Each structure stands twice: as structure tokens, then as C-alpha cells.
Amino acid sequence: MKFFLFFLSLFFCTFAFSELETVHEYSFNQLTEAGPPRSLRIIPHINETRAIETGILFSYKDRSAKKVYVSGDFSNWSPRVMKRGDNGVWFYFLSEYESRSAVRYKFMVDGIWISDPLNSEAIDDGSGSFLSIAYPEATPENRSVTYRFVRINGTDYVEFRIYNRDASYISVAGDFNNWNPENNQLSKETGNIWRTRVSIPDGKYRYKFIIDGKWSLDLYNSETANDGMNGIASLLIVSPVTKRNIVIQN
């Protein structure tokens, strides 16, 4: 079932955005040259259940560097670790960033802040240096949505999402709200996507949707657990690891 859902989501996503170049995530390790920020969609490692993601690739080449970070508006200027590929190219893929405006960023190379030497688009930072400018892509929402993590004004939320064209009422209940079907109602938005945001501490939580009075699994979340009543519930895991691709919203 896990692989069926994974490939089903790939099918929908492939038709959702065909204008961008598609690459396998593992190919980043084989980069031979760095370049300016590059909009891509990536196919994740086959042993992962993530769907195709759209975003922007940051890269920087320095074989002698020990540590390289990228920081910008998308991370509230908190440095994010760049990985070193086999040929001395450092890379970071920013996915699911929903701002449609330009973002400012810089690299930190062995403790020294620099602008992107291969990106000609930059602005004065007011301190005698420059901030590089990138234009991220965001993955369009489609019928295969599931929950995701979002950060708004420094606060982290779980955003529960489900596609439903015909429902009149949807809520979510689980361990995080004592299985109360009235506490967290979803709102219907553009594209028949229903959503609600809940602040949930780190931990593991079972949950289900209630759609017009009927309890339902989160179809595109492949993680499940026993619901304690001889049935199955969807499983949510909140941790620093699962939040590594958190969406930053301004």
C-alpha cells in the first residue's frame, strides 16, 4: 500500500507541473559545477514516500571548505546546512517555499558570510556587502495532499490537508485533541483543498478525518497505527527530523 500511494502521488504530480526540469534527488551528489539558483522538480529516493517536490537548488563549489551553510528569508536567517557532493559542490534544495516574492540569501563558508558568486542578482545589504536574490518555486497543491509542517511568524504548526469536492463539513480528531471531532474543523479553500493548522508538540499521534460524520483515514499519509478499536488510524510524527522540510510562510 505504501508504494502504491507513493507512485499514485507521482502520477498526479507529473501532470501538475511539466514545465520544469525533473531530476533525481541522488543526482545532486554528482554535480561537477555550481551555478546560480535553479528551479527544479525532484524525484526523491525510491525508499522514501515523499512525492515529487518543486523548489530551488542552491549550490556553491569549494573543495577546501569544511562547512558551508545557506541562510535567508526562507529560514528567518537561521543557517541551514549544505551537503557536500562527490566533486566538491555544496548543495541545498529548498522545497515547498510558498512565498511568490523574491528571497534574499547568503552563504556562510567556514564562518565567513558571502553573497553567491555565481548569481548576478543582488541588492545592497546596507552594511557594505550584498544579499543575493532568488525566486523560489512552490509545489502546486493537488488531490494527493496530506499533512505538512508550516512555520508562521516563528510558530510551528501541523497543517492538516485533504482534497474533497463534495463534503459540507470536515474536521480532524486524534491523540492531540483527545479525539474530539469538534475541536479542529477544516476550512474549504481554493481547489477543493480543506485545511486547518494545529500547534502540536513533538511526539507520535494517531488521527482521522471526520467527513460529513464518517471517520476516514488520511489517504496520502502512508504511516498508520492501530486505533485501539480494532481499526486503523493515520499516524503523525512530529520531530526535528520530520520537520526538516518545514514550509516557511510570511
Domain spans of the chain, in order of start: 2-134, 148-249
Contacts 24+ apart (CB under 8 A), 212-216: 212/167, 212/168, 212/169, 212/170, 213/169
**Confidence band for 138, pLDDT divided at 50, 70 and 90:** low
Query: 2-134 and 148-249 share one CATH topology?
Result: yes
Poorest-pLDDT segment among 33-37, 142-146, 225-229: 142-146
3 state SS for the chain: CHHHHHHHHHHHHHHHCCCCCEEEHHHHHHCCCCCCCEEEEEECCCCCCCCCEEEEEEEEECCCCCCEEEEEHHHCCCCEECEECCCCEEEEEEECCCCCCCEEEEEEECCEEECCCCCCCEEECCCCCEEEEECCCCCCCCCCCCCEEEEECCEEEEEEEEECCCCCCEEEEEHHHCCCCCCCECEEEHHHEEEEEECCCCEEEEEEEEECCEEECCCCCCCEEECCCCCEEEEEEECCCCCCCCEEEC
In the prediction, which pLDDT does 248 show? 67
In the prediction, which pLDDT does 96 show? 64
Q: Domain 2-134 belongs to what architecture?
A: Sandwich (2.60)
In the prediction, which pLDDT does 3 show? 42
In the prediction, which pLDDT does 1 show? 46
Q: Dump pLDDT digits (tens) for 106-117.
A: 999 999 999 999
155, pLDDT greater than 70: yes
42, pLDDT greater than 70: yes
In the prediction, which pLDDT does 247 show? 74
**Confidence band for 73, pLDDT divided at 50, 70 and 90:** confident
10, pLDDT greater than 70: no
51, pLDDT greater than 70: no
Q: Domain 148-249 belongs to what architecture?
A: Sandwich (2.60)
**Which of residues 62 and 1 earns the better pLDDT score?**
62
